[in-house]
Chain A
């Protein structure tokens, strides 16, 4: 049985099967969907980098660190010393006077944002069907991530308790 399908007949799997054919005259053409792992012009080139491995490792390691950072953060913010009612400008200003809490919050910001962004990257890779959608979503997410990380970093380092 031949399962060879010429490139001309391959339509993206996102396209609805209309049953009207693709204009080649063969009624069976309409039902041909793009077979996975088929080598086409658009097949991504081999990258030869360790990016995916590093991203995978980063998820594991940052996850472990984040458990400590975030649980500690929640404990301080919500439980100890009267809980949420104590939080105010003065409380935050007092904590950021110490370099220890500055580093703590900075690490939490960077790790959480990059961890979340990498997770979202996976979700977008999974669910976006069109290349253009994927590009847009990833671009949007990347911009938001960079903006948040930079703004947060700026605030932590330039925070002035006397404003």
Chain B
């Protein structure tokens, strides 16, 4: 027996159907940098009339498509999975595709700049090579010994749960480029690389934990972390980054003694 369902619309849907989407005027203050034109970056204001429920990425697209085609930024999937569009929005690292305009106070100009600590190539694009170099250095792949099994490598649900949090990383660099230690010392591995090392160190199927721990035990490894929690705060996937780093530290201490 089914009860007749009352058509329940969300307030937003009602507004759209009634044609009453409230458009607002938003100013985007973007830090532009083009080394071929001028050695210094400049802040440029763009005004848009848009629905505050749209994302910052929509605003950037609108600016690029309708106002200034020279604006340069990375985006691929536009749905928070590819990790291309991490940028500093109102002074905090976020994914432009996961940030709604209404959530970053559209009454004031919204500042957008490239993530810090990496070389800016143009506008919002930074050189990600050092970031991925650190990622590669922790060997983010399964390391095993002996013959490969004929079936898949089985793992209990509890063993999988152990490193579940750090599997969520999309390598957007929001954490690493929010880390004050990384800003000062670019040789530091950075939170993202440690998170991805954590993902394998605590994987019961993996046998390379000792090698990875040895790499992270070095001068520029986990001991540089000052637990400022900037990384945990910046992570658009909600990974408890600082906790993961602390777990690697604990693993190092307990295995060495």
- Distance between A50 CB and nearest chain B CB, rounded to angstroms: 6
| B221 engages A50 (CB within 8 Å) | no
| A52 engages B223 (CB within 8 Å) | yes
Bound CA span A50–B186, Å: 21
- Cross-chain pairs A/B with CB under 8 angstroms, 6 sampled: A1-B121, A32-B119, A38-B129, A38-B130, A44-B187, A53-B253
| B256 engages A36 (CB within 8 Å) | no
| Residue in contact with B187 in the complex, picked from A30, A36, A57, CB distance below 8 Å | A36
Closest partner residue, chain A, to B186 (CB atom):
A36
Contact A47 to B182, CB < 8 A, known contacts A36-B117, A53-B253: no
Bound CA span A51–B145, Å: 30
Is the CB of A125 closer than 8 A to any CB of chain B? yes
- Distance between B254 CB and nearest chain A CB, rounded to angstroms: 11
- Distance between A152 CB and nearest chain B CB, rounded to angstroms: 28
Chain A interface residue bracket vs B: 20 to 34
| A52 engages B218 (CB within 8 Å) | yes
Contact A37 to B187, CB < 8 A, known contacts A3-B129, A53-B253: yes
B interface footprint on A48-60 (CB within 8 Å = 1, 0 otherwise): 1011110111000
Is the CB of A107 closer than 8 A to any CB of chain B? no
| B36 engages A37 (CB within 8 Å) | no
| B218 engages A46 (CB within 8 Å) | yes
- Distance between B220 CB and nearest chain A CB, rounded to angstroms: 8
Is the CB of B172 closer than 8 A to any CB of chain A? no
Is the CB of B68 closer than 8 A to any CB of chain A? no
| B121 engages A36 (CB within 8 Å) | no
Which residues of the other chain, A, contact B118 by a CB distance below 8 angstroms? Answer: 35-36
Which residues of the other chain, A, contact B128 by a CB distance below 8 angstroms? Answer: 3
A interface footprint on B168-197 (CB within 8 Å = 1, 0 otherwise): 000000000000011011110000000000
Is the CB of A72 closer than 8 A to any CB of chain B? no
| B217 engages A28 (CB within 8 Å) | no
Bound CA span A33–B38, Å: 15
Is the CB of B249 closer than 8 A to any CB of chain A? yes
Is the CB of A25 closer than 8 A to any CB of chain B? no
Bound CA span A34–B186, Å: 9
Which residues of the other chain, B, contact A47 by a CB distance below 8 angstroms? Answer: 218-219
Bound CA span A38–B137, Å: 12
| B249 engages A30 (CB within 8 Å) | no
- Distance between B85 CB and nearest chain A CB, rounded to angstroms: 16
- Distance between B74 CB and nearest chain A CB, rounded to angstroms: 10
Is the CB of A86 closer than 8 A to any CB of chain B? no
Is the CB of A95 closer than 8 A to any CB of chain B? no
Contact A35 to B127, CB < 8 A, known contacts A3-B121, A56-B249, A126-B181: yes
Closest partner residue, chain A, to B137 (CB atom):
A37
Bound CA span A127–B217, Å: 22
Interface residues of B in 219-246 (CB under 8 A from A): 219-221, 223-224, 226
Is the CB of A27 closer than 8 A to any CB of chain B? yes
| Residue in contact with A53 in the complex, picked from B39, B131, B181, B223, CB distance below 8 Å | B223
Is the CB of A43 closer than 8 A to any CB of chain B? yes
Which residues of the other chain, B, contact A126 by a CB distance below 8 angstroms? Answer: 181, 184-185
